[in-house]
A and B are shown apart, each in its own frame.
Chain A
Amino acid sequence: DAGVTQSPTHLIKTRGQQVTLRCSPKSGHDTVSWYQQALGQGPQFIFQYYEEEERQRGNFPDRFSGHQFPNYSSELNVNALLLGDSALYLCASSLVQGSNTGELFFGEGSRLTVL
């Protein structure tokens, strides 16, 4: 049973560039959430996708956008990169339980460095 997979694992960009991160959910899961973890802090919720729609969004600017595909995989796009966007980006998958989210399972993350 494949777990949550993310790519790439590491990447380096310069300020102003754009980046796309990818995530495949755990088998059987239909919901993907993205989190940003700065060094020394807990993960912060960016947004969640279900049925190819953004279901809920955290306190992140519009430079952060996403997409979910019919096979439930997802992408996170960040435009106009800032130095402060350097972080570990974590993808989590889950199954919807009514109006709430069930247990979340995380991937290994994509570590983004912005120079």
Chain B
Amino acid sequence: GIQVEQSPPDLILQEGANSTLRCNFSDSVNNLQWFHQNPWGQLINLFYIPSGTKQNGRLSATTVATERYSLLYISSSQTTDSGVYFCAVLRNGNKLVFGAGTILRVKS
């Protein structure tokens, strides 16, 4: 099956810093989503981005489908950005495959 690798596994930032999270996948995909999991466990949708670039406030994402990677940019980080960020892909059918996540800690 398709493999999803996220890097880095852990990231500690000072408030106000910028960061880039990476997601590599092993095959072509029909769907790619980025999620933020809050401390209570809920997965919050950040981007639905099988290809191209999108921006939402301080967050933006780029997926280069031909090179099988996606990047999530966080600018001017805030303590509320802390949590786990997941990339998930769907190749064929109905099963989203998740990466192991990036744990982000933003210190004030």
Q: Is the CB of B92 within 8 A of A100?
A: yes
B interface footprint on A86-115 (CB within 8 Å = 1, 0 otherwise): 001010100000011111111111010000
If A100-B30, A103-B31, A103-B33 touch, does A90 touch B97 (CB 8 Å cutoff)?
no
Say whether, besides A100-B31, A101-B90, A45 and B97 are in contact (CB < 8 Å): yes
Which of B30, B43, B48, B92 is in CB contact (< 8 Å) with A106?
A: B43
- Complex contacts, A90 vs chain B, CB 8 Å: 41, 43
Q: Is the CB of B99 within 8 A of A42?
A: yes
Question: Measured between alpha carbons, how far is A99 from B94 in the docked complex, in Å?
Answer: 8
Q: Is the CB of B31 within 8 A of A45?
A: no
B interface residues with partner A (beta carbon < 8 Å): 30-31, 33, 35, 40-43, 45, 48, 86, 88, 90, 92-101
20 sample A-B contacts, Cβ–Cβ < 8 Å, listed by A number? A35-B96, A42-B86, A43-B96, A45-B96, A48-B94, A55-B94, A56-B93, A58-B95, A88-B41, A92-B96, A100-B30, A100-B90, A100-B93, A101-B31, A103-B31, A104-B96, A106-B42, A107-B42, A108-B41, A108-B42
> Contact residues of A with B, CB < 8 Å?
31, 33, 35, 37, 41-45, 48, 50, 55-56, 58, 88, 90, 92, 99-109, 111
